């Protein structure tokens, strides 16, 4: 793949949570240039998990993890609830969000989601797991 | 580390045997330029295994594998036997050499060695393991 042509042989994309948030996500949000176009933009709610594999392929190797950027889709234009449904099913959060630190500073959070086929509140749980990373704003109001 | 400054964040050096032989070793033997000076030259028989960690460090991360180039040292100037002794001990081959293929072509062999403290034929086996890669010449004489 073209984007990998300037990474030397022997290197694999195995980013840490800190690198994903502090480098890739932070740059993306600030619309700053990312050295290597390795993380694709997709609309996660217009794509089924099993179709991600083709769109988010890195190089020629077998992968069982894929990375992508996607915008959050609001359920209602004025609301804060997130719509995580695709045509075939929906993504549902599971467990607690995990804090991501750089040294001792909280820089982001990681949410884990599971894909269910069908429609909430029913649906059939699948083996597809997704981690959603978000930046944690460090601007605080003290009073 | 300087050599890693042009590898994008999130990439780790996890080469396959095929990449080590077909790219890194083949270029080294042919004195051709290697994109990234990630594999250091050392004299393996002048260095103890526990001192490799500092010399062959990649980046800032914890490593438990190190990569290096080293010349074979002949036991006697006219002989073919290899001297694999250091000051504190010696490297001893174990098991069978493993063939390395690129597609269906044999391109090299991988020898596994274990470090023993002391002097052969005695010496105390350690947990240090080394893989020695060599090119397999594909020039054959047919008659």
The full 3-state SS of A4-69, as one line of letters, equals HCCCCCCEEECCCHHHHHHHHHHHHHCCCCCCCCCCEECCHHHCCHHHHHHHCCCCCCCCCCCCEE
Most confident of A11-15, B3-7, B103-107, B112-116: B112-116
Give the pLDDT score at A110.
96
Residue A90 belongs to a domain:
yes
pLDDT band for B61, please (50, 70, 90 cuts).
confident
Residue A43 belongs to a domain:
yes
Q: Is the pTM of this model over 0.90?
A: no
Residue A95 belongs to a domain:
yes
Residue B28 belongs to a domain:
yes
Nearest to B8 among A10, A14, A35 (CB): A35
Name which of A4-18, B68-82, B126-140 the model is least confident about. Answer: B68-82
- C-alpha angle B132-B135-B139 in degrees, rounded to nearest 5: 155
Give the pLDDT score at B7.
79
Nearest to A15 among B9, B14, B38 (CB): B9
Chain B residues touching residue A38 (CB < 8 angstroms): 8, 10
Mean pLDDT rounded to a whole number for chain A:
86
Q: Are A15 and B14 in contact (CB < 8 Å)? A: no
Q: Which residue of B has its CA nearest to A23?
A: B9
Q: Are B13 and A9 in contact (CB < 8 Å)? A: no
Nearest to B38 by CA among B50, B30, B28: B28
Number of domains in chain B: 1
Residue B1 belongs to a domain:
no
Residue B56 belongs to a domain:
yes
Phi and psi at B124, nearest 5°, equal -110, 120
Nearest to A9 among B9, B12, B23 (CB): B23
In terms of residue numbers, what domain contains A74? 17-142
Chain B residues touching residue A17 (CB < 8 angstroms): none
Identify from A6, A9, A60 which residue to disrupt to test chain B contact, counting B C-beta atoms within 10 A and taking the largest count: A9
Q: Which residue of B has its CA nearest to A9?
A: B19
Give the pLDDT score at A1.
41
Identify from B9, B24, B32 which residue to disrupt to test chain A contact, counting A C-beta atoms within 10 A and taking the largest count: B9
For residue B39, how many C-alpha atoms fall within 13 Å in the half-sphere facing its CB? Answer: 22
Residue A119 belongs to a domain:
yes
Which CATH number does the domain housing residue B59 bear? 2.170.150.80
Residue B12 belongs to a domain:
no
């Amino acid at each position: 793949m073209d984007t990998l042509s300037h990474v030397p042989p022997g290197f694999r994309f195995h980013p840490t949570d800190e690198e994903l948030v502090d480098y890739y996500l932070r740059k993306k949000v600030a619309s700053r240039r990312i050295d290597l176009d390795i993380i694709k933009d997709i609309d996660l709610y217009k794509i089924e998990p099993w179709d991600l594999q083709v769109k988010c392929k890195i190089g020629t190797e077998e992968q069982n993890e894929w990375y992508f950027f996607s915008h959050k889709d609001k359920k209602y234009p004025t609301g804060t609830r997130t719509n995580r449904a695709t045509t075939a099913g929906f993504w549902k959060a599971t467990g607690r969000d995990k804090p991501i630190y750089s040294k001792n500073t909280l820089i982001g959070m990681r949410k884990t989601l599971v894909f269910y086929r069908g429609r909430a509140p029913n649906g059939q749980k699948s083996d597809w797991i997704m981690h959603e990373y978000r930046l944690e704003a460090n601007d605080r109001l003290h009073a």
